[in-house]
Amino acid sequence: MEMKELYSKKIVKACSIVANHILDDRGEPPLWPLNIVKTLWYLSKFFPREVYITIEKLRERGVSEKEISDFFLTPTRLTYIFNQAEFPIEGLTAEEGENLFDTFMSYVAFYRKEDIYCDTLRNILWDKGQVIEALNKYEFINSKKCADWESLSQLLGKFNSVMWLYTEFINVAKHPYSHEFHGPYILPHNETMIVRKYYDLKPTEVWPFLIDVPYDIILTLEIYKDANLGFDFLNHSASSVSHPKCLQEFFVGVGTEESPVTNFKDLRALLTEYKNTITRGNEAVSEYTDADWLVKLLERHFYYLKPHKDKLGENWKPPKVLYDFVKTVEPDEKFVEFMDLVGRAIQTPSEQFVKQLTNLHVQNIYSGPESKYLKY
């Protein structure tokens, strides 16, 4: 039987996009703070199952699908979990696996107004009315309002770089869990607007050193000219231009009040706050072993479910058995097999590699193995 008849089309499509993304790594997965493939091996053993159980409990309590999706905060938090299908999703039957990953895509559809897969690098969360409202609501800074626009536009680029590295740090490399970049929204005169929401920036229960971080949420709206900016399914930004050179106007708002940051001095101070926090964080983890990072990975992922757990009246913290698991169990032969597969990415024709990886991901969602490591 053809794969398309056996499996959910939404799942197959999403897995093929993730496979294409892995192809872009050219057989060399990110290695900071540890091999990202290794982290995904661990997550596949507990996180999708935990999400499934949590969603089911909320459904039993009569919580609506829209409300459950809102607890995830952004669509990218949902799509990013597809990465974990690099390994068999343990503890769910084939039917439960399909139900969970299909649910993710139906939740994504609550947010993404056009293509839920961002196939054409468009992550459209606002309709035309919301775009117009934003353009009127926020006071943008531009070259007419700033004497040294070149320096200011470069500073915004530095600020976005710092925030990107910051989200990478606090999410143990999985930066998209703390940012939602959306757009591009087409404006007249070859201009486009993109919106960046940095959020969940103060998970102090996971990272105590974040206590002095000033804001949990930062919003930027940026208008570019002649720039081919875009965002993919996993919220990675794609472009072939130097952003500061194409920037025309921008707005930066901090906190839930979206208080505007209107000048060079204040933007530099904000950048410095988050940069210094990363430096403090680097000091805090300077002696970390892989096991220490895996504990943070575990806690951070359970913390993504805090809004759901709060609704259920449950503690967000992982059970003890999971701490023991990440500290004592080493990845099995599937890890070696997968590393071998991605290592052949360059030698294998792209189409063949993507097809091979897509099949593997889909089968991992539908594999329905018993939980080999965890029974809690």
Partner 1 sequence: MNKKNKEIILKGIVASPGIAKGKAKVLLSPADTAKMQEGNILVAPLTNPQLITAILQASAIVTEIGGPLSHAAIVARELGIPCIVGVKNATKILKDNMEIIVNGNEGIIFQENS
Q: Shortest distance, CB of residue 286 to partner 1, whole angstroms? A: 8
Pattern of binders to partner 1 over 315-354, x per CB under 8 A?
----------------------------------------
Q: Shortest distance, CB of residue 30 to partner 1, whole angstroms? A: 7
Q: Which stretch binds partner 1 (CB under 8 A): 137-145, 256-264, 280-288, 289-297?
A: 280-288
Would you put residue 307 in left (φ > 0), alpha (ψ -120 to 50) or beta?
A: alpha
By the 10 Å C-beta count (0-12 exposed, 13-18 middle, 19+ buried), 208 is classed as exposed
- 245 versus 355: smaller Cβ distance to partner 1: 245
Answer for which of 93, 204, 228, 242 binds partner 1 (CB under 8 A) is 242
Pattern of binders to partner 1 over 97-136, x per CB under 8 A?
----------------------------------------
- 8 versus 167: smaller Cβ distance to partner 1: 167
Q: Which stretch binds partner 1 (CB under 8 A): 10-18, 68-76, 211-219, 240-248?
A: 240-248
Q: Which stretch binds partner 1 (CB under 8 A): 20-28, 204-212, 255-263, 326-334?
A: 20-28
Distance between CA atoms of residues 132 and 126, nearest Å: 10
* CA dihedral (100, 73, 87, 353) positive or negative: positive
The kind and range of the H/E element at 183 are: strand 179-187
Distance between CA atoms of residues 59 and 328, nearest Å: 34
- 106 versus 279: smaller Cβ distance to partner 1: 279
Answer for which of 282, 289, 315, 350 binds partner 1 (CB under 8 A) is 282
25 near partner 1, judged by CB under 8 A: yes
Complete DSSP assignment for 249-280:
EEEEEETTTTEE--SHHHHHHHHHHHHHHHHH
Residue 198 pairs with which residues in a beta bridge? 179, 218
Q: Shortest distance, CB of residue 98 to partner 1, whole angstroms? A: 28
Residues of span 146-165 touching partner 1 by CB under 8 A: 154, 157-158, 160-162, 164-165
- 271 versus 322: smaller Cβ distance to partner 1: 271
Q: Which stretch binds partner 1 (CB under 8 A): 54-62, 96-104, 201-209, 243-251?
A: 243-251
- 63 versus 278: smaller Cβ distance to partner 1: 278
Q: How far is CA 8 from CA 3, 19, 53, 116, 133, in A?
A: 9, 17, 21, 15, 37
Output the six-digit token pair for 190. Answer: 């070859």
Q: How far is CA 362 from CA 6, 14, 163, in A?
A: 10, 9, 33
DSSP label at residue 331 = P
- 237 versus 262: smaller Cβ distance to partner 1: 237
Q: Shortest distance, CB of residue 38 to partner 1, whole angstroms? A: 16
Distance between CA atoms of residues 208 and 206, nearest Å: 6
236 near partner 1, judged by CB under 8 A: yes
Answer for which of 93, 228, 279, 289 binds partner 1 (CB under 8 A) is 279
Q: What are phi and psi of 286, to 5 degrees?
A: -60, -30
Distance between CA atoms of residues 156 and 202, nearest Å: 21
Answer for which of 35, 130, 143, 239 binds partner 1 (CB under 8 A) is 239
- Is 296 in a helix, a strand, or coil? helix
12 near partner 1, judged by CB under 8 A: no
What radius of gyration, in Å, describes the C-alpha atoms of the chain? 21
Q: Shortest distance, CB of residue 26 to partner 1, whole angstroms? A: 5
Distance between CA atoms of residues 155 and 61, nearest Å: 48
Q: List contacts with partner 1 (CB under 8 A).
A: 21, 24-26, 28, 30-33, 154, 157-158, 160-162, 164-166, 168-169, 175, 232, 236-245, 275, 278-279, 281-282, 286
